[in-house]
Chain A
Amino acid sequence: MSENRTRIVSDQAPRALTVSGLSYSFAGGPVLFDKLDFSVQAGEFVALLAPSGAGKTTLFRLLAGLVKPDAGEIRLGGSSESQSPGQKRRIGYMPQRDCLMSWRNVLDNAALGLELSGVPRQEARRRVRELLPSFGLEGTEQKRPHELSGGMRQRVSFLRSLLSGGDPLLLDEPFSALDAMTRASMQEWLLQIWEQHRKTVLFITHDVDEALLLSDRVLVAATSPISSLQQVAVGLQRPRDYSAVLEPSFIQLKRQILEQLGRTPVIKEGAGQ
């Protein structure tokens, strides 16, 4: 497991996640995944782009071990998880809805993962407190979820997943419920946080701009059922900020992805926004 700690992304970088031959369909529903293969390297920020209803959340639930695949294998780090179902998977999962506990304050909501992995309560709280300022949550320790804005709730949820220590971190459309302005500032904030922590992240979205802005690599799911993912390497320099969306290379990549998704490419640059 020690190779997971390496944070350099290169061709030889160890895999954080390997999916091979994954097939899945809900009972009576359409086939969502058909012999899907893909992998994520340790330390990489990968965006998974797919239209709504394509099965993105379902994929995360498969990766998290919450649903069993019909066929195929999901490996975390080096070990094979599908062959030892009793073993606990340790991915970090941030669900699409924030799923905060209304009966807990910010501090104890964020400490949930630590608490469940046996960290003593005081120690867990101390570690949450340390991170609150950089999550823009200073002074909200005692607040309940209903007293927070949508953006703050997502940050608490993200902090909770980050602290649970799982690897890789699966983020399921964390900003899709937010208004455009809050979303933009949350994206910039996530870029900063990621620079600090450099966790392996698999980020689900159906927003092309968001995928390009945040990730090292975009995986595009254009088919239904999803049987393969088209790869787009994002060569934009890091650290990034929101102004990256104006760069010509960004627009070039965006055009490429829209084509892959089967949309008619926009005639004027930026008219698709």
Chain B
Amino acid sequence: MKKSVKTVLPVFLFILLLAALWELLTTVFEVPHYIVPRLSDVLASLWENRLLLGRHFVLTLGEALLGLGLSVLFGVSIAIWMERFNLAKRTLYPLIMASQTIPIIALSPIMVMWFGYGVWSKISVVILFTFFPIAVNTSDGFRTADPGIGELMRTMGASKRDLFLKWKIPSALPGFFTGFKLAATISVGGAALGEWLGGESGLGVYTKRASNMLRGEAVFSGVLLLSLMGILLFLAVRWLESKVLAKRGSSDEKEM
């Protein structure tokens, strides 16, 4: 408890300081609201539109979560598949690595073309963004499994199934979570981008429309909420990670 206060308090104070500076500088230098609106105006706009923003927030969050969930499913499945079958690994792994050089943003319009303006085009953009980090990091996680443990288990008569469940899977979990955390943060960006490309609602649409109308305080309130969503998703996954990897003595635990 004490420790969490100690870690959270400096961050909290620093955010307060930044907020104060924001308010002060925009007021003193009379920055136009369409460049940087005053923080108080942004907060007021957030409050005024809270019902509308709440609906947009839930929709975007839903898209991000669904896309993320499907990415975990696909990414982990393909990583397991590559782990079990050497041929699959030799064919797919280089392709997956190479595909990371494709600018994903440029691919996104294809998703709109295929799935239309509905919610599935947004979810598919999220998957496009989050599939790779999960698949690659999980696959790398499998590779970090200590071969010494595998050999030892084989001398004890372990079956393939034993080796997979009791050695490979636990060894791959840290890698999986590295990918999952990364994916969680970028999933929100994916959902917002999907909405920009064509959509009726969601925080991405909200900020884009506000930006077209030069309503700075509305744009900033949307951006603030999107950032908040990203942070929340990241923290949720990190919490899950700490539960699953509890007591392993990972580097994470020592740092935090």
A contacts, CB < 8 Å to B: 61, 64-66, 88-93, 95, 97, 99, 101-103, 105, 112-113, 116-117, 144-147, 164, 166
Interchain CB contact under 8 A, B151 and A102: no
Closest to A164 in B: B156
Interchain CB contact under 8 A, A147 and B249: yes
B30 interface hit (Cβ, 8 Å): no
B170 interface hit (Cβ, 8 Å): yes
Q: A103-B248, A116-B162, A146-B249 are in contact. Are A95 and B151 (CB under 8 A)?
A: yes
Interchain CB contact under 8 A, B151 and A61: yes
Closest to B147 in A: A99
What A residues does B146 contact at CB under 8 A? 99
Interchain CB contact under 8 A, B248 and A144: yes
B44 interface hit (Cβ, 8 Å): no
Interchain CB contact under 8 A, A166 and B155: yes
B252 nearest CB across to chain A (Å): 13
Q: A61-B151, A144-B247 are in contact. Are A103 and B170 (CB under 8 A)?
A: yes
B106 interface hit (Cβ, 8 Å): no
Interchain CB contact under 8 A, A101 and B170: yes
What B residues does A65 contact at CB under 8 A? 154-155
A89 to B247, CA, bound (A): 34
Q: Which residues of B from 148 to 171 have beta carbons under 8 Å from A? A: 148-149, 151-158, 162, 166-167, 170
Interchain CB contact under 8 A, A116 and B153: yes
Interchain CB contact under 8 A, A101 and B157: no
Interchain CB contact under 8 A, A66 and B154: yes
A250 to B226, CA, bound (A): 76
Considering only CB atoms and an 8 Å cut-off, how many residues of chain B contact the other chain? 20
B contacts, CB < 8 Å to A: 146, 148-149, 151-158, 162, 166-167, 170, 173, 245, 247-249
Contacts A65-B154, A112-B156 known; 12 new A-B pairs at CB < 8 A: A65-B155, A66-B154, A92-B155, A95-B151, A99-B148, A103-B245, A116-B157, A116-B158, A117-B156, A117-B157, A144-B247, A166-B156
Interchain CB contact under 8 A, A102 and B155: no
Closest to A65 in B: B155
Tell which of B157, B166, B170 touches A90, judged by Cβ atoms closer than 8 Å.
Answer: B157
Closest to A98 in B: B148
Interchain CB contact under 8 A, A113 and B156: yes
Q: Please, could you name 28 A-B residue pairs with CB atoms under 8 Å apart, sorted by A?
A: A64-B151, A64-B155, A65-B154, A65-B155, A89-B155, A93-B152, A93-B155, A93-B156, A97-B148, A101-B149, A101-B167, A101-B170, A102-B248, A102-B249, A103-B170, A103-B173, A103-B245, A103-B248, A105-B247, A112-B166, A116-B156, A116-B158, A117-B156, A144-B248, A145-B249, A147-B249, A164-B156, A166-B155
A103 to B249, CA, bound (A): 9
What A residues does B153 contact at CB under 8 A? 112, 116
What B residues does A91 contact at CB under 8 A? 155
B57 nearest CB across to chain A (Å): 37
Interchain CB contact under 8 A, B152 and A95: yes
A56 to B158, CA, bound (A): 24
The 7 A-B pairs at the shortest CB distance, nearest first, are namely: A146-B249, A99-B148, A93-B155, A103-B170, A116-B156, A113-B156, A64-B155
What A residues does B157 contact at CB under 8 A? 88, 90, 116-117
Closest to A118 in B: B157
Closest to A102 in B: B248
Closest to B170 in A: A103
What B residues does A117 contact at CB under 8 A? 156-157
A61 to B146, CA, bound (A): 16
What B residues does A88 contact at CB under 8 A? 157
What B residues does A116 contact at CB under 8 A? 153, 156-158, 162
What A residues does B245 contact at CB under 8 A? 103
A262 nearest CB across to chain B (Å): 32
What A residues does B248 contact at CB under 8 A? 102-103, 144, 146
A93 to B248, CA, bound (A): 25
